[in-house]
Each structure stands twice: as C-alpha cells, then as structure tokens.
C-alpha cells in the first residue's frame, strides 16, 4: 500500500525489485522483496544487523557474483532501459559500469589520489590525459574534497584521513558518472564531523544521481533520505516516504525498531 | 620474632602476602628461565652467522696476502691449482650470474603468473590441489634436477640448438629456474592473498575485470611481498650448487654466453672441496675467498631487496 502511494507521488523510477529472493548457498537471505527506487532521490535501507540490507544493496551491482554459491531469484529492473540487472545474460561488469558503490570502510587503492579517481576511467579505456584531468577534477569537486587535495594529487591516497578517504572513494565512484550510487554504511567508520560532511554530500549528490544508502543510524536515515525501507530478517517490512515511516509507521515492527524498543 | 608477636592483628594477613610474593618470585624465576632459553635459541643462529663470516674473512685475509685484490677482480683466468696460477674471480662470477639470470628469466615470470592464477583466478578447489603439488616440486633434491638437466633437458635443447655442448649454463639455468618457480609462486601467492578483499571489491565495483583488478590493484598492493619472493629466488639461484655441478660443466670459463659450459662459484667450491687439498695451501684458501664473494653477492641482493621493499611498500 505504501509502495503504491509513494509511486504515484514520484512517478520516475530508477530501479525496482520484483519478487527478489537471494540465497547464500542454501540459506535464503532475502525473501520476496518488492521495492521501487525513485530517480534522483535518496532511499535509505534501515533495519537491525543481519536483516539483509547490505545483501540487498550489494545485489544492485552484482557484488555477490564474486563469491561462489550465491544465487539470485526474481528481478531488479533498471530504468529507463528496463534491464533486469540480475539476468544471467547481463554482464555484471556492464552493471557495475552504471552502478557505483561506496563501501563501509574507506578502501582507496594504494595509489596516488589522482590514480584512485582515474581508476574507473582507465578501466573504461580513457587514455586522453586532458579528459582524465578534467574528469578527475570534476569528480573531486563533486565529492567536496578538491580544495583539500588539489595541491597533492600525486600523494598516496592511503595517507589521507578516514573522512577524506571516504570522500575520495565517493569521488572515485562519481568519476564515471554512475546512474545509481550505492552507499553501504558509508559513515560507520567515521567521526561525527566527517559523517556530517558525507551526509551533506549525499544531499547534494541527489541532484545528479540516484542514491541507495544502507545505514544503521536512524537519525542519518531521517536526515538524508527521501524514502526509507525497513527490513527485518530478510524481508521488506515497510517502505515509504521517510517522513511517513518515521512519524507514522504502519507496521508494528517498524514502529518498535524506530522507537528503539527493538534492534 | 618479638615484633611479630607484638603486632598480632596484621599477623593473619602476613603469610598471605608473603605467599603471594613467593608465587610471584617463582613465576618470575620461570619467566627468566624461559627467556634465557629463547635467547639462547636466537643466539645460536646469530652466532652461527657470525662464525661463518669469521671463518670466511680470516681465511680470505690469508688468501689476499698472497693474491692482490686487483688481480683477484680483474684477471680473466681462474686456474688456482695450475703451476701458472691465476685467480680471476670474475670467471666464476660470470658463470654464477649467467646461470642465475637464465634461472630467474624462467622463475620470476612463471612464478608470478602462477601466483596470479592461483590467487585471483583459480577456484578454491584447484588452488587447494595445485599449491601442495607445486610446493612438492620445491622438495625434490637438487641432484635429481641436475641429472634431469643433463640427461633430458640438454638433449632436448640440442635438438633446437645443435651446436649446444653437453654441458651448458643454459640447460642448468633453465632447470634451476624450474626448481625456483615453486618458491616464487608460493610466496607471491601468499603476498597477493594477503591483499584485503575490500580492495578487490573496490576495483570490481568500478567495473574492473578480474585481469585488470589483478594487474592494477592486487599486484601493486602486494609488490613488497613479490619483491621479497624474487629476492629469495635470486638467493636460491646464486647459491644453487648441484644442478650446476652436474649439468653446467666445471671448466672455469669467463663467458657471458649461456650456450657455453662454465664453472660457478658454488660448483668450483664443490669441485675443489672434493679433492684433497692440503690445509693452508693457496688452493684451500681460494675456497674461502670464493665463498666470501658469494656471501657478498647474496648480501648485495638482499640489501637491494630491502630497498625495493621499502620503496614500493604500499600500505593498505
């Protein structure tokens, strides 16, 4: 029901999970998930640890393909071309070219700042030095870290502070102009000030890219997201506009979690 | 005694405290003993090294009293046992370096490629099966490799190069390379597997293929470990004896051509040590001078390796 009302409020969809099941070997980690992802909006996934929110997030760029024994069932439709991201016919590399990801722990490559941001461009075969320079600069500006690193682009990225590393990872993901950006608890390893910077960045980024963010910090979900989904034990319990979910949750379990009685 | 009796109230506590102290002292003593044992174990290896260096240096000093350093380094002949004795160590160094270069030209590329395959491409079952077998190759006695080189590889090579002599640095070097492959592969694979999965995921998430990830993220991140494995390979090659003694011929021959037979430092030492040289003779002392040279060469490569590791250390 909530799904239907949300869809009418914001018609443009970027992606949509349809009867999506996921298995780690024989263990079913996600159960019949149906959920829209609205274009150029921030959608937050909340829920207690182990509820499957990260598993769900990592399905959008087929990260599970890296490990043996994982299995998808159902569909994640990707718009505007209406591709099923999970189809075996769809090359996971093509998916990852369109869906960027920022991880829980900043994971810059042990390379220079410049090479980190240029990485995705080089993967795509970009060799023109001017184009690389321009795109790296634009991405670093987009991730609000340009002013801090513009004079030391050749320094090792791993020497940056944790918050800077995470913004660098966002720049790295932005450099290739993804259509959907996945954030897997991007601030859980950061201090409050760095967290604030990332949240502000997420808010700005939704002008140009659709964002799906996993967080176990409900204040964060309330601050940054337009839509929120509450997951529990591999199921999508409730999805709706963030204000609705936090002010008048329909499901008892959502209410318990949000009010701190559970989780 | 008297004071003990006088201070009656604290008396019940006193034995408890002293007991505890006694236990502490016991523990302290046993810790001491363990520490001494551990120190002794560590000291044995250090003292052995010191002893080896001492013997090499002291015998070499006597050698250099009769042969000048310049002659030692510049003479183009090595005939210490002839009446017309020459002591040009470059003759042996050239054989050592050429055979090692051939071996490393095989071992480093092959070992690295195998390590990349096992660490980044092979499925876990293949890896679990292949790695022990590969390591088994490292356990084959080198004398077996030596005869393998002499009796199988040399005849095969002679089909390609008919002019190849029965003993050659090429054949010995190739087989030596095969012998070193497991060391390089195994250590390189360990280094690459130690690269955290989060870095690989970062690369895959950017649309990187397995090959791109392996070459542009995993190999650079593991480079200090790879360098260490290469240095170990070099040390093995420079110090390898039996394969060269069997398959490379033992004629002292100043050559940079792998198609020729030649003696190396190690094969010379084997050859001379097998004979009955009188203690203290110049021939006897050449063993130590050659040994010292070998030690310095390996030391040089080790220092180079340390420098490489520090220069390319990528912390993740």
Query: Cα A82 vs. chain centroid, distance in angstroms?
Result: 20
Beta-carbon separation of A172 and B206 below 8 A = yes
Cα distance between residue B309 and residue B293, in whole Å: 24
Q: Is residue B19 part of a domain?
A: yes
Q: How far is A3 from chain B (nearest CA, A)?
A: 29
Chain A: which residues have CB within 8 Å of chain B?
A: 61, 63, 66, 68, 93-94, 96-97, 100-101, 103, 105, 107-111, 119-120, 122-124, 156, 158, 169, 172-173, 176
- Write down the pLDDT at residue A7: 45
- Write down the pLDDT at residue B118: 94
Q: pLDDT 10s digit of each residue in chain A, 263 long?
A: 444 444 444 458 899 999 999 999 999 999 999 999 999 999 999 999 889 999 999 999 999 998 888 999 999 999 888 889 999 999 999 999 999 999 999 999 999 999 999 999 999 988 899 999 999 999 999 888 999 999 999 999 999 999 999 999 999 999 999 999 999 999 988 888 889 988 999 998 999 899 999 998 888 999 999 999 999 999 999 999 999 999 989 998 999 888 887 64
Domain that holds residue A198: 2-107+179-258
pLDDT in tens, B164-191: 999 999 999 999 999 999 999 999 999 9
Q: Is residue A68 part of a domain?
A: yes
Beta-carbon separation of B202 and A169 below 8 A = yes
For residue B38, is pLDDT > 70?
yes
Domain co-membership, B46 together with B104 = no
Question: Searching chain B, which residue's CA lies closest to the CA of residue A173?
Answer: B206
Domain co-membership, B161 together with B49 = no
For the packed helices B223-239 and B282-312, what is the interaxial angle rounded to 10 degrees?
A: 170
B281: contact with A, CB 8 A cutoff: no
Name which of A173, A179, A176, A174 is nearest A79 in CA terms.
A179
Q: Is residue B83 part of a domain?
A: no
b/e sequence B202-222, b meaning 16+ C-beta within 10 Å: bbbbbbbebebbbebbbbbbb
- Write down the pLDDT at residue B156: 94
Which of B119, B203, B205, B223 is the best residue to mutate to test the A interface, defined by the most A CB atoms within 10 Å of its own CB?
A: B205
User: Structure pTM?
Assistant: 0.82
Cα distance between residue B71 and residue B83, in whole Å: 17
Q: How far is A93 from chain B (nearest CA, A)?
A: 5
Total domains, chain B: 2
Q: Are B120 and B218 in contact (CB under 8 A)?
A: yes
Domain co-membership, B294 together with B188 = yes
B195: contact with A, CB 8 A cutoff: no
Question: Which residues of chain B does A110 touch, with a Cβ-Cβ cutoff of 8 Å?
Answer: 199, 220-221, 314-316
Question: Which residues of chain B does A109 touch, with a Cβ-Cβ cutoff of 8 Å?
Answer: 199, 202-203, 217, 220-221
Which residues, 6 or more positions from A156, have their beta carbon under 8 angstroms from its beta carbon? Answer: A110, A111, A112, A113, B314
Beta-carbon separation of B205 and A96 below 8 A = yes
Cα distance between residue A171 and residue A136, in whole Å: 8
Q: What ipTM was predicted for this assembly? A: 0.89
pLDDT in tens, B109-129: 999 999 999 999 998 889 999
Cα distance between residue A177 and residue B197, in whole Å: 24
Domain co-membership, B55 together with B143 = no
Domain that holds residue B249: 90-312
Q: Is residue A249 part of a domain?
A: yes
Q: Is residue A131 part of a domain?
A: no
Q: For chains A and B, what is the number of CB pairs under 8 angstroms?
A: 71
Domain co-membership, B95 together with B23 = no
For residue B78, is pLDDT > 70?
yes
Q: Is residue A243 part of a domain?
A: yes
For residue B8, is pLDDT > 70?
no
Question: Which residues of chain A does B208 touch, with a Cβ-Cβ cutoff of 8 Å?
Answer: 93, 119, 123
Domain co-membership, B106 together with B211 = yes
Cα distance between residue A184 and residue A227, in whole Å: 16
Total domains, chain A: 1
Domain co-membership, B285 together with B193 = yes
- pLDDT-derived band of residue B13, with 50, 70 and 90 as boundaries? low
Domain co-membership, B220 together with B287 = yes
B209: contact with A, CB 8 A cutoff: yes
Domain co-membership, B99 together with B57 = no
Domain co-membership, B191 together with B134 = yes
For A79, other C-beta atoms within 10 Å of its C-beta total: 16
Q: Is residue B77 part of a domain?
A: no
Question: Which residues of chain B does A61 touch, with a Cβ-Cβ cutoff of 8 Å?
Answer: 205
For residue B303, is pLDDT > 50?
yes
- Write down the pLDDT at residue B14: 53
Domain co-membership, B210 together with B139 = yes
Q: Is residue A155 part of a domain?
A: no
B314: contact with A, CB 8 A cutoff: yes
Place of tokens 């005869």: B147
Domain co-membership, B150 together with B19 = no
Q: Out of A61, A100, A158, whose CB is closest to B316?
A: A158
Portion 218-237 of B in contact with A at CB < 8 A: 220-221
Q: What is the DSSP string of B211-269?
A: HHHIIIIIHHHTHHHHHHHHHHHHHHHHH--HHHHHHS---------TTS----HHHHH
Q: Are B176 and B102 in contact (CB under 8 A)?
A: yes
What's the token pair of residue A198?
Answer: 């990332």
b/e sequence A34-52, b meaning 16+ C-beta within 10 Å: ebbbbbbbbbbbbbeeebb
Q: Which of B42-51, B60-69, B159-168, B304-313 bottoms out in mean pLDDT, i.e. has the lowest?
A: B304-313
Please report, for the domain that includes residue A199, its CATH number.
3.40.50.300
- pLDDT-derived band of residue B81, with 50, 70 and 90 as boundaries? confident
Q: Is residue B76 part of a domain?
A: no
Cα distance between residue B10 and residue A214, in whole Å: 63
Q: Is residue A112 part of a domain?
A: no
Please report, for the domain that includes residue B180, its CATH number.
1.10.3720.10
Question: Which residues of chain A does B201 touch, with a Cβ-Cβ cutoff of 8 Å?
Answer: 63, 66, 103, 107
Which of A60, A109, A180, A186 is the best residue to mutate to test the B interface, defined by the most B CB atoms within 10 Å of its own CB?
A: A109
Q: Out of A61, A103, A173, whose CB is closest to B198?
A: A103
């Amino acid at each position: 029901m909530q799904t239907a009302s949300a869809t009418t409020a914001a018609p443009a969809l970027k992606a949509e999970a349809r009867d999506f099941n996921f298995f780690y070997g024989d263990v079913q980690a996600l159960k019949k998930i149906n959920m829209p992802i609205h274009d150029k909006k921030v959608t937050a996934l909340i829920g207690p640890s182990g509820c499957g929110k990260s598993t769900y997030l990592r399905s959008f760029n087929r990260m599970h393909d890296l490990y043996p024994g994982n299995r998808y069932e159902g569909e994640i439709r990707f718009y505007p071309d209406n591709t099923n991201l999970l189809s075996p016919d769809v090359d996971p590399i093509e998916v990852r070219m369109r869906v960027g990801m920022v991880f829980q722990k900043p994971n810059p490559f042990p390379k220079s700042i410049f090479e980190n941001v240029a990485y995705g461009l080089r993967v795509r075969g970009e060799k023109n030095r001017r184009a690389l320079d321009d795109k790296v600069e634009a991405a670093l500006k987009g991730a609000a870290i340009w002013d801090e690193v513009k004079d030391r682009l050749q320094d090792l990225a791993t020497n940056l502070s944790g918050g800077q590393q995470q913004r660098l990872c966002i720049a790295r993901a932005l450099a290739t102009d993804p259509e959907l950006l996945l954030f897997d608890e991007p601030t859980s390893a950061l201090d409050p000030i760095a967290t604030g910077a990332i949240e502000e960045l997420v808010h700005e980024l939704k002008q140009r890219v659709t964002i799906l963010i996993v967080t176990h910090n409900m204040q964060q979900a309330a601050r940054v997201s337009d839509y929120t989904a509450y997951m529990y034990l591999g199921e999508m319990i409730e999805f709706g506009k963030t204000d609705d979910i936090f002010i008048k949750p329909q499901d008892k379990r959502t209410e318990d979690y949000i009010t701190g009685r559970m989780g | 005694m008297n004071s003990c009796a006088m201070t009656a109230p604290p008396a019940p506590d006193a034995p408890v405290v002293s007991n505890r102290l006694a236990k502490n002292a016991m523990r302290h003593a046993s810790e001491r003993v363990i520490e001494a044992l551990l120190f002794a174990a560590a000291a044995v290896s250090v003292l052995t090294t010191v002893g080896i260096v001492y013997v090499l240096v002291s015998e070499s000093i006597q050698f250099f009293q009769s042969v000048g350093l310049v002659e030692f380094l510049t003479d183009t002949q090595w005939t210490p046992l002839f009446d017309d004795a020459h002591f040009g160590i470059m003759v042996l160094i050239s054989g050592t370096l050429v055979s090692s270069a051939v071996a490393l030209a095989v071992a480093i590329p092959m070992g690295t490629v195998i390590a990349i395959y096992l660490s980044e491409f092979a499925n876990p079952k293949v890896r679990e099966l292949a790695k022990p077998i590969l390591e088994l190759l490292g356990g084959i006695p080198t004398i077996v490799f030596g005869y393998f080189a002499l009796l199988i590889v040399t005849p095969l090579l002679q089909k390609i190069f008919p002019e190849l002599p029965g003993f050659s640095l090429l054949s010995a070097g190739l087989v030596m390379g095969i012998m070193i492959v497991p060391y390089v592969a195994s250590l390189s694979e360990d280094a690459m597997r130690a690269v955290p999965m989060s870095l690989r995921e970062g690369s895959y998430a950017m649309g990187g293929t397995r090959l791109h990830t392996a070459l542009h993220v995993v190999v650079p991140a593991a480079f200090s470990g790879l360098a260490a494995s290469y240095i170990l390979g070099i040390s093995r090659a420079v110090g390898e004896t039996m394969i060269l003694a069997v398959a490379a011929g033992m004629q002292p021959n100043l050559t940079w051509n792998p198609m020729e037979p030649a003696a190396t430092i190690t094969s010379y030492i084997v050859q001379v040590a097998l004979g009955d040289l009188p203690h203290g003779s110049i021939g006897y002392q050449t063993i130590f001078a050659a040994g010292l040279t070998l030690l310095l060469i390996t030391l040089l490569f080790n220092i180079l390796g340390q420098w490489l590791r520090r220069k390319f250390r990528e912390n993740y």
